Structure 1
Amino acid sequence: MASVTITNNTAMDFEGKIEHILACVQKCLEEEDIELLNVCCDDIGYKTPNFTTSGIYRIHGSARIQNREEKTWSMIVKVIKPDSEEKNSATHHNYWRREAHVFESGILNDLPNDIKVTRCFGVEELTDATTWIWMEHIKGKYADTLEQFSFIAEQIGRFNGVYLTGDKILPCYDWLCEAWLTSWTTASRTYAPDVAEYAERISNDHLQMLWSWYQNLIAELDCMLESLQQLPRVLAHQDLSQMNMLLVTDHHHPAQLALIDWQFMSISGVGEDLGKLYGVNMSLGIIQPDQYEEFQTVLYRSYLEGLRAAGWQGDERLVRYGFCLSTALRSVWEVPQFFSMLAQLETDPHNTNLRDRLSRLERILWIHKAMYTEVQIMTPQLL
């Protein structure tokens, strides 16, 4: 066995995994004859509120290949765990073990070449009920400009499109969520703050109009969720926040999209991935308020171009329907959040940060409302 030196800057027992680390480094470097291995283990400070993830760590260092040069290497270890009874069900949008199944199945190896995928070096089950996923560390940059997001939208369109043309067959696994937004909206309504009493006594006509629209959305929710199931089906990522999308370049590809964190992988309607891309990055503040309208137009156009480039020549209105509805349904969570924050502002009227967040969120909600109205107009024509 190679001589190994390890520096562990985490609370995890990486010292007890020397043989496993060596095996993963051999896969990472595609080198069997390692004679000297230097290892450094760092906690990357995971803070994203997904309760099925207990930690993400970067393991990196150098390896001296027998009778040859020294090579550097880096990998990511993601530790996932059971959380609640509902997340033990494969039908749940946040089924705790889905990403481990994604890597074990090899499903990512069959994705379109336009999408760069993470190599997996091993999925390890531990006696404490956690699962460790050892994977490639992909280095790239996060999108922050309209042009970069436009490129991503087109690539997502190409990715979704190959399942519409039949170039790729939709995978069939019982751990793939087939009604992602149904599960997500159910969970959102369960855990959203109860603001009905507060909202109904607000005298502001503008806000009352927003609350009335939200109540109408909830009344129609089941029918709208069912309509999404009638859209052409694609394999979807469903978690396209800025942190899960990396723009990478190498000598084979001048620009390529790499997607990470496949925990929410699903079979979804066309346009749903685009709704997540647009909606979540508005909510996270990545897309700025003065860019909301322009991003909506450009991202939709680019996604559609990606679908067409993949060879799909179907009805564009179906794409628009999926995009608008999946974006608007985010209000199931965000309207209660808005009125909860509004109540907080009454008790803390000088909180400028809260006031700014409310202003941004209100603008987002009116966009949701406009997109939902578009859906209501299209529904009789399409479904």
Structure 2
Amino acid sequence: MPENADESTGAREALTHNTNNAATAGIWRHRHADGSVIVKHATPPTGDGLWAAGAEPAHWNYWRREALAYTTGFATEYLSGSRIRPPALLGDSTRPDGSVELTLEDVGRGQATGWSPERLGGFAYQLGTVQARWAHPTADRPTWLSTGWIRQYAGRFGPESPPDWDHPQLAAAWPKRLRDGLARQWESRDRLFTLAETAPRTVSHLDVWPMNIMDDPDSSDGAVLLDWSFIGDGAVGEDIGNLVPDSVADGLMPADGLPEIADACVTGYLDGLRDGEWRGSPDEARRAIAVCGAAKYVWLAPMMADRLARGLAIGSANYDRGDDNPAILERRRSMMELLVDWTDQALG
């Protein structure tokens, strides 16, 4: 947080982010006479928990990773040759307590939550060309890139006891066929993680969703990709397996548009891989998208069932638009149907 930010004059605006993540103390828009900048404060590990920060690069939530992605220039190098770019790094500093403050370009408020499926598909195409290039093994990748991320992340969540798939609220919103499919997904989580880990590899951003994609103010058809905290080894298509379901999970985009989003993003990404001269087959990439999407969200429906059983809210505390549980169950139904379909593709 800038020490000279004057809260009383409205010079600092707190921005929406995952406040559970201990690696981030805050993100602010800081206004000054010449415009505005974004300030992000990264903090060293201080304890345990589901969202604890990691002290070592092998940790899925290594607290220095994003700062390194910017200060070494790797985020820019990663996206070079595409119409996607990171925000410009304007400054970085280390505080006396060892925490790091990044000052970044403020690219505005044009988040991809307002994009059409076709434009998301265009973004996916550009990402495909990038990840085709990074799919070829190289010896000089940074040692601080994440590894084994999907199992470390998704394997932490979920209830301790078997989910009650027949909970009255769940049964009223989702048909038995869907609930049976979600039970199959949860029971197959270890296999899904292994399939994701053995899929063809590339360097993945690992947090691609509409909240992290912005209009590029310097380009009519470009995009700015935010939040480089997780970047590392991932499967080809892993980012698309996240982007598609996460576009509607919190009500940020209309749920009835999910089929069009899925078609545009998968098709665009596969075309990008082809034009980027990826050496694998489209079928391999399509299956990897399904595998990784199913693995990434394997915990979500069980967690929802567990929270319903305990009389708790099931929406996201940071991003969800505030609907009640029945509305969220209805909204996420198309997402869950897609995840079951992807699970069947993965396990078939």
Q: Deviations over 1:37-82 (max 9, x none)?
A: xx984133444333321112233434xxxxxxxxx34322111113
1:357–1:91: structure 2 CA closer, same or farther, 3 Å change rule? same
Query: How far 1:354 sits from its partner (Å)?
Result: 1.5
Between the aligned partners of 1:359 and 1:76, the Cα distance in structure 2 is 36
Structure 1 residues 205-216: aligned runs within 5 Å: 209-216=177-184
- In the alignment, structure 1 residue 309 sits paired with structure 2 residue 275: yes
1:105–1:286: structure 2 CA closer, same or farther, 3 Å change rule? same
Structure 1 residues 34-49: aligned runs within 5 Å: 41-49=11-19
Instruction: Look at both structures and tell me which one has the larger radius of gyration over its CA atoms.
Output: 1
Task: Name the counterpart of 1:3.
Answer: none
Structure 1 residues 1-383: aligned runs within 5 Å: 8-10=5-7, 41-49=11-19, 50-62=21-33, 72-81=34-43, 82-85=45-48, 87-88=53-54, 89-111=56-78, 112-114=80-82, 115-139=84-108, 141-143=110-112, 144=114, 145-164=116-135, 169=138, 172-188=141-157, 192-194=158-160, 196=162, 198-199=164-165, 209-250=177-218, 253-343=219-309, 353-377=324-348
Query: How far 1:310 sits from its partner (Å)?
Result: 1.6
Task: Name the counterpart of 2:317.
Answer: none
The number of aligned residues is: 326
Identical positions, percent:
21
Letter in 2 for 1:8: A
Query: How far 1:320 sits from its partner (Å)?
Result: 0.7
Between the aligned partners of 1:362 and 1:195, the Cα distance in structure 2 is 23
Query: How far 1:183 sits from its partner (Å)?
Result: 0.8
CA contact (8 A) 2:107 2:217 kept: no
TM-score, normalisation: structure 2: 0.82
Single out whichever of 117-126 and 175-184 deviates more from structure 2.
117-126
CA contact (8 A) 1:142 1:246 kept: yes
Query: How far 1:274 sits from its partner (Å)?
Result: 0.5
Specify the SS of the correspondent of 2:234: strand
Between the aligned partners of 1:217 and 1:342, the Cα distance in structure 2 is 19
Task: Name the counterpart of 1:69.
Answer: none
Between the aligned partners of 1:83 and 1:305, the Cα distance in structure 2 is 44
Query: How far 1:270 sits from its partner (Å)?
Result: 0.2
Query: What is the Cα-based RMSD across aligned positions, in Å?
Result: 3.1
Letter in 2 for 1:48: N
1:346–1:308: structure 2 CA closer, same or farther, 3 Å change rule? closer
Letter in 1 for 2:155: T
Between the aligned partners of 2:264 and 2:244, the Cα distance in structure 1 is 10
CA contact (8 A) 1:195 1:336 kept: no
Letter in 2 for 1:295: I
Letter in 2 for 1:99: E
Task: Name the counterpart of 1:68.
Answer: none
Specify the SS of the correspondent of 1:90: coil
Task: Name the counterpart of 1:23.
Answer: none
1:110–1:87: structure 2 CA closer, same or farther, 3 Å change rule? same
CA contact (8 A) 1:41 1:57 kept: no
Between the aligned partners of 1:131 and 1:374, the Cα distance in structure 2 is 43
CA contact (8 A) 1:228 1:322 kept: yes
Between the aligned partners of 1:363 and 1:341, the Cα distance in structure 2 is 20
Query: How far 1:331 sits from its partner (Å)?
Result: 3.6
CA contact (8 A) 1:163 1:170 kept: no
TM-score, normalisation: structure 1: 0.75
CA contact (8 A) 1:165 1:310 kept: no
1:210–1:84: structure 2 CA closer, same or farther, 3 Å change rule? farther
- Bigger strand fraction: 1
Single out whichever of 124-133 and 81-90 deviates more from structure 2.
81-90
Q: Comparing both chains, which one has the higher relative contact order based on Cα–Cα distances under 8 Å and sequence gaps of 6 or more?
A: 2
1:10–1:58: structure 2 CA closer, same or farther, 3 Å change rule? same
Specify the SS of the correspondent of 2:298: helix
Letter in 1 for 2:200: P
Letter in 1 for 2:203: L
Letter in 2 for 1:241: W
Runs of 5+ consecutive residues of structure 2 not aligned to the other structure: 314-321
Between the aligned partners of 2:74 and 2:305, the Cα distance in structure 1 is 41
- Bigger helix fraction: 1
Letter in 1 for 2:209: S
Query: How far 1:200 sits from its partner (Å)?
Result: 6.4
Between the aligned partners of 1:352 and 1:246, the Cα distance in structure 2 is 25
Between the aligned partners of 1:265 and 1:232, the Cα distance in structure 2 is 16
Single out whichever of 356-365 and 208-217 deviates more from structure 2.
208-217
Between the aligned partners of 2:150 and 2:279, the Cα distance in structure 1 is 26
Runs of 5+ consecutive residues of structure 1 not aligned to the other structure: 1-5, 12-38, 63-71, 378-383
Q: Deviations over 1:353-377 (max 9, x none)?
A: 2211011223321221111111222
Between the aligned partners of 2:13 and 2:171, the Cα distance in structure 1 is 48
